[in-house]
Amino acid sequence: MVEMASRIKPLDVSVINKIAAGEIVIAPVNALKEMMENSIDAKATMIDVLVKEGGIKLLQITDNGSGINKEDLPILCERFTTSKLAIFEDLSKIETFGFRGEALASISHIARVTVTTKTEKDECAWKASFSEGKMLGDPKPVAGKTGTIITVEDLFYNIPSRLKALRSPADEFNKILDVIGRYSINNDNVGFSCKKFGDSKVALMIKSDLSKKDRVRIIFGAHVSTKLMELHIDVTNDVEKNGLLSASGLITNLDFTNKKPIQPAFFINGRLVSCDPMRRSFNQIYSTFLPKGNKSFMYLALTIRPQNVDVNIHPTKREVRFLHEEEIIDALAFQLQEKLASIDTSRTFKTAS
């Protein structure tokens, strides 16, 4: 028997919104990253995170940034509402993390969201709750400091399959700690803390005046931080032509003995990204200098001409593409090689004398 073609029907908007939200927020850590980036966009100098059950029951972010205007609260969680991007061309010179106006909207479609916020000029803070993109009732005046508190509760309450697929709360909590830690290294003018709900002690505390090195020590341990050296990439004309404007970071030296792989902390234009070709290339170079089986740690922040970077290839913005990727990675790898070679010879001299 011939199968009849199924009729095409539009999806229900609530289904569309849930699907879209599920692509952006795969696990609590994705929601956290979006909100942390919003806080940094709002020029916060302190970001405190409170977590219950790995962020599934509760994820609360308190910042001392600019706050949100009360008048904007009604559309805060609507899709595609943003204070950061006006015309498409702006995308090529965007300097903020956000631009899509999708994060809070997405979160509000798969969790219960409450926002308490105060701008410098407001006399009190305003509190409002959101569901499925909409504000519930009117904002209520409450006491509060300048900045924003975003509370996300019962993440994925309406997507049971996603809830089941999550790892244990302990694993989800570790992913959250890891992302906060990595962002704290790259944002060394900002303080960060993270606490489990009900615990009297914080799980992570990074004071705003700590150096990058101290941050690495707190996050990855003294065995890493004491073996760090600075890497400054010389941006030659050739490299600049390819769009690389600056590159620097902290990398472990050749005395670092460590068998456990630590994911590198790569940032491109302030965004934590995974860049596998870069990771592979750098690991390859390290492996020629390190004793067999030893692994390095690398923190590297690149500035690439924004027009050359496409952050829009992955809903979580975790991967990025940039023009002249191979040339840029090769140029960086060459300088890494030179740096490691220079300390390798000085090491040989030392042991020889």
243 belongs to the binding site for ligand ADP (CB under 6 A): no
Strands (E), the chain: 46-52, 58-63, 112-118, 125-131, 134-142, 147-153, 191-196, 204-206, 228-232, 244-252, 265-268, 271-273, 298-304, 309-310, 321-322
103 belongs to the binding site for Mg ion (CB under 5 A): yes
99 or 282: CB nearest ligand ADP: 99
60 or 335: CB nearest ligand ADP: 60
Residues 17, 30, 38, 187: which binds Mg ion (CB under 5 A)? 38
Amino acid identity of residue 162, one-letter, is R
Q: What is the DSSP letter of 267?
A: E
Residues 28, 54, 55, 98: which binds ligand ADP (CB under 6 A)? 98
65 belongs to the binding site for Mg ion (CB under 5 A): no
Residues 24, 25, 27, 38: which binds ligand ADP (CB under 6 A)? 38
Select from 18, 243, 16, 2 the least CA-distant residue to 108: 18
Amino acid identity of residue 230, one-letter, is E
98 belongs to the binding site for Mg ion (CB under 5 A): yes
30 or 66: CB nearest ligand ADP: 66
First-to-last C-alpha distance (Å) of the chain: 87
Q: Which does 65 bind (CB under 5 to 8 A by kind): ligand ADP, Mg ion, none?
A: ligand ADP
The number of beta carbons lying within 10 Å of the beta carbon of residue 65 is 21
* Structure-block tokens of residue 166: 């999550």
Binding-site string for ligand ADP from residue 114 to residue 153, where x marks contact by CB under 6 A and - marks none? ----------------------------------x-----
Output the CA angle 296-302-305, nearest 5 degrees: 160
Sites of contact with Mg ion (CB under 5 A): 38, 98, 103
Sites of contact with ligand ADP (CB under 6 A): 34, 38-39, 42, 63, 65-68, 76, 82-84, 98-105, 148
